[in-house]
Structure 1
């Protein structure tokens, strides 16, 4: 007869044996001493990180590592915290983060405590997404390590940044010499600890690359056991072609490939997640290693040039300004922007484009294009909105929030077994910018709204999608799981109280429900209060080679 033992029960048994036996035969019970620990979380509801229901148990920590999991019995501890009735889980890993900022008073350098993330249970962020990263990576790693931050920080190496460095902003293929230089930059990034190659094929200059160029560079990342993660060329009308291209790049280059912040944009395509996920399933069936990440909102956020056609961006900003100054080219550009307002991120209404950050005029932050037009005394029309967009970009550009998705697709993508959840946000603090709520609420919204309240997925599955799943995707063998030997990045949440407070109208509000958060065994959040501790580290790929150079 075969007896099946639940993994959580097995973990408890193993942990108890480890506590009892250690590395040597157990001493006589009359002379044995209680195990010694630095910190014990007592009596919590333990979500291991695996896609399994929780179990009741204790977590023992020594230094920066988990020492034991389960019913610990007798022990001595420097500190013990009763977490009865609370959910204990691995700290969340945000696999799509923009924690860095060009502004020294923003991002991880502006707010190294990362309170907006800690208060959701996030302990690790992975930067370098959408094809944009520091090149090379090491100086940024050293600067962040010198802070240090409260959270762990890792990165991909960005194809777009490498292309800009080697080829520039022109719409042309690289020469063979340039392609070799790009390969060398990918290799250097991987040797400095990048987790893979990211691309932003909807952004200039990444959009000027053909598929073969990206395959060549992805092959290099694969040689270092890295992955390929892509903001695809299109998430609107050409969504399915873009999904197919992302799959092809992984298949041809021979490495894991990921559709990042997978979404369906624009009314003509709503519901197409069924088709995009079918393409993913078919690829998996033929042996391609495909995965997905998603942020749980029906609005996206990026800069206004997402509504501009690629031809207008050839040559960079100065070339774009020259085109906007030419009447015939401006007319062509206006028509293309109107089209994108209608069928893509404009959601067929200028009111769906909300300005989030306009450095040249902060009074515009939080206003949609219709409101700005009315303020200027203009008629609200798509043509006038297109003209306004060109003027805003010429004045310095703005970030914006685009309301152009529906819940049906969010639910479909979230339910897919290869989907993990990530913020596509960053480290934020109070400011005048009308940032996307995902910066403050992604993980609380996932667990509180979608899993607990709507039951789109079970709570333990939601936790799996932000812990073990991204850890395994990044080949992090000692994070994302509650088991002896793992790094003690741990979140303790009151599941019944978890909720996002952030809104589009008032985004700078921290989420509720996190009680304790530990990074490398050190309490960063204790009984709901930030401790000021900043034990975050640089996390690097398993194929990191820079130290040996």
Structure 2
């Protein structure tokens, strides 16, 4: 018998390995799991006893696709993640990261890619850094985070810094050596791998061979290659490229936010896995698209334009006033590919515009849909928001195909947008804060056992990124533990949610424990910040 800090008893224990559940208890001492027991055997007294009442106790969920690396410097509570039972997030995805070189360089890159606002860029960070290890040390000393965070190196950030901007050419010999040096340095300092954003500037300028050369360094360190794939090729061709990069380099591959409406791409991965290659994917199980306020849309137009990426938003606004600039931006910005009959104008405070589609208002004004968007951007700026993707296929209640969600190497990845608390309505999405709820429901509806669903949300992503001490309920492992009723784990449906509220949260998570400290109790998040940086 041993004195415990926390005892979870009368619980349906699901240990994260995929094995059958059993009734039992989990004991926690300090920041480690002290024991996992069947029945009530071996239970000692504890400072805090949680009677689970037959609810599930399992490892905290591991999110393989997050973008919190800068946001946690100012917003460490990450409520949308805690509410979903996430205790560890893998950040630095889509080619965007906290290195190389210095703080100011990273902030400038993330601003130019539309990930942060000018205000965020100008707000002093709690610490400054010049390397991956300095960022990790600064984060560890800065006062804590609600959950744990691991980090990837971002190819886009690396390439932009090394090559001096958004340069559309292969790196020269010196640049190639510096890129490889920085990847190796970051891995030695604890990065979990490297990500690419092959649909974004400047990663899109890298050919397959350039990525393979860097992925070979990843393979040396048993690190993961995670890719926002080159969607401009088509989903299947882009997925095939990611698989090829893994095959040629020997690196483990994580295909990021792979759309479940593309079963052919999933079959390519299934074939590669059957041949012995280490490939997995994460997905956003349901989305109603992005809500983008006018000033942020101008920033995104800059982000996607090679001519204006390094010029700035003032240059974009000037170009918008010319026919030539408008034609250029329509060709470059993916938001303009949306059907204007499915793009809604919201958050305007103007009854003549609110809730109407771009197609409808454009027709009434006798202008083209793109010209209407440009006109509203110039007329209203921050006083208009465009809702792209409200009627997406994956918002439908019968989505996705059972074939796809049954693949054992598929996990949910939240990819929650970087909502800045001082400006929450600038850029947000409605369904991703319920990602884990939706994935669990979809998988169970398709006949996937709950134990298997939880394996794919815990030990599997932990293994994929070589996070070795988390994702399983086992003596000696980190005490990241959650208690919840899967049937009560809930999030509003697409047709129920308030589109004006960026802060909708999942409900039904009873307890969240991070490193042996209770972060959520009886469904209410506490002030504790016990999270730590997770390194290789």
Q: 1:369 to 1:192 in 2, by over 3 A?
A: farther
Displacement of 1:294 after TM fit?
A: 0.6
Give 1:527's match in structure 2, choosing from 510, 522, 526.
522
Find the aligned partners of 1:368 and 1:182 in 2 and give their Cα distance: 47
Cα deviations by residue, 1:23-43 (Å, 9 ceiling, x for unpaired): xxxxxxxxxxx3332221111
Find the aligned partners of 1:315 and 1:380 in 2 and give their Cα distance: 25
Find the aligned partners of 2:178 and 2:333 in 1 and give their Cα distance: 38
Contact between 1:170 and 1:315, CA under 8 Å: does it hold in 2?
no
Give 1:177's match in structure 2, choosing from 144, 151, 174.
174
Normalization by structure 2: what TM-score? 0.80
Displacement of 1:410 after TM fit?
A: 6.4
Give 2:76's match in structure 1, choosing from 108, 112, 120.
112
2:207 equivalent in structure 1: 210
Cα deviations by residue, 1:351-384 (Å, 9 ceiling, x for unpaired): 336789xxxx9999x9779359839973474443
Q: How does 1:130-145 map to 2 (within 5 A)?
A: 130-135=94-99, 136-145=131-140
Cα deviations by residue, 1:332-358 (Å, 9 ceiling, x for unpaired): 42562699745xxx1x235336789xx
- Tell whether 2:19 aligns with 1:52: yes
Q: Which runs of 5+ in 2 are unaligned?
A: 100-130
Normalization by structure 1: what TM-score? 0.78
Displacement of 1:142 after TM fit?
A: 3.0
Displacement of 1:414 after TM fit?
A: 2.5
2:61 equivalent in structure 1: 92
Contact between 1:114 and 1:427, CA under 8 Å: does it hold in 2?
no
Contact between 1:130 and 1:199, CA under 8 Å: does it hold in 2?
yes
Contact between 2:287 and 2:431, CA under 8 Å: does it hold in 1?
no
2:281 equivalent in structure 1: 292
1:511 equivalent in structure 2: 506
Structure index of larger Rg = 1
Contact between 2:13 and 2:56, CA under 8 Å: does it hold in 1?
yes
Give 2:251's match in structure 1, choosing from 227, 250, 255.
255
Find the aligned partners of 1:218 and 1:296 in 2 and give their Cα distance: 28
Q: How many residues end up aligned between the 2 structures?
A: 484
What's the secondary structure of 2:530's corresponding residue?
coil
Cα deviations by residue, 1:289-309 (Å, 9 ceiling, x for unpaired): 111001111444497589979
Displacement of 1:92 after TM fit?
A: 0.8
2:430 equivalent in structure 1: 437
Contact between 1:170 and 1:208, CA under 8 Å: does it hold in 2?
yes
Please report the RMSD computed on the Cα atoms of aligned residues, expressed in angstroms.
Answer: 3.6
What's the secondary structure of 1:496's corresponding residue?
coil
- Tell whether 2:442 aligns with 1:450: yes
Contact between 1:307 and 1:340, CA under 8 Å: does it hold in 2?
no
Contact between 1:198 and 1:228, CA under 8 Å: does it hold in 2?
yes
Comparing 187-196 and 402-411, the one that deviates more = 402-411
Give 2:93's match in structure 1, choosing from 110, 129, 152.
129
Contact between 2:148 and 2:532, CA under 8 Å: does it hold in 1?
yes
1:6 equivalent in structure 2: none
Q: Which runs of 5+ in 1 are unaligned?
A: 1-33, 102-106, 265-270, 542-549
2:155 equivalent in structure 1: 159
